[in-house]
């Protein structure tokens, strides 16, 4: 019985979405975020999937908004796709100070917003100072 319950929880954890509610104006959804501590700073790498039938507008700026209202530009952007499907995946990398990562984080992309981090506080990264999050609660 315990094994069955553990297996069910593992399957549910694997297939649940990063966020239950996604802003359709963002034209993307978050797949996951990797957070890595680097001295007293943090690298936040987020992977987004472009919604099928939609496109990412390269002319519109992408910004990470902190709970205090500050906005951060990506340090790096990577796109994947091909000429037939267009851009299908996006990766954005942000460099955050400790005070910034303690706040909730929202990504402004296209004409919408995606919640990246909903909970206040410094994320628990473990001894490797690195963790991949598959939900906005970190």
Position 65 in a domain = yes
pTM recorded for the entire structure? 0.86
Pick from 28, 11, 1: which is nearest to 112 by CA? Answer: 28
Does residue 46 lie within any of the structural domains? yes
User: How does the average pLDDT of the chain come out, rounded?
Assistant: 91
Residue 6 lies in a domain: no
Is 2 domain-assigned? no
**CATH code at position 101:** 2.60.40.10
Residue 129 lies in a domain: yes
Instruction: Evaluate whether residue 12 is within a structural domain.
Output: no
CA nearest 110: which of 46, 32, 25, 49? Answer: 25
Task: With respect to residue 48, please indicate whether it lies within any of the assigned structural domains.
Answer: yes
| Residue 13 domain-assigned (yes or no) | no
The count of domains in the chain is 1
Contacts of 89 (CB under 8 A, 6+ apart): 31, 47, 48, 49, 50, 79, 80, 81
Give the model confidence (pLDDT) of 45-64 as tens digits: 999 999 999 999 999 999 99
Q: Which domain holds residue 115?
A: 19-133
Residues 6+ apart with CB under 8 A from 137: 118, 119
Please write the tens of the pLDDT for every residue from 76-114: 999 999 998 899 999 999 999 999 999 999 999 999 999
- Helix residue ranges, H only, the chain: 2-15, 98-101
């Amino acid at each position: 019985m315990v094994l069955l319950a553990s297996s069910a929880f593992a399957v549910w954890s694997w297939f649940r979405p990063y966020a239950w509610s996604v802003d359709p104006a963002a034209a993307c959804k978050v797949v996951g975020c990797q957070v890595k501590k680097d001295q007293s700073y943090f690298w936040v790498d987020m992977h987004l999937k472009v919604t099928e039938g939609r496109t990412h507008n390269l002319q519109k700026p992408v910004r990470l908004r902190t709970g205090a209202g500050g906005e951060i530009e990506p340090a790096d952007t990577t796109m994947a796709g091909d000429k037939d499907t267009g851009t299908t995946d996006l990766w954005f990398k942000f460099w955050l100070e400790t005070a910034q990562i303690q706040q909730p984080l929202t990504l402004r992309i296209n004409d919408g917003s995606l919640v990246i981090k909903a909970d206040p506080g410094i994320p628990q990264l473990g001894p490797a100072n690195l963790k991949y999050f598959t939900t906005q609660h970190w």
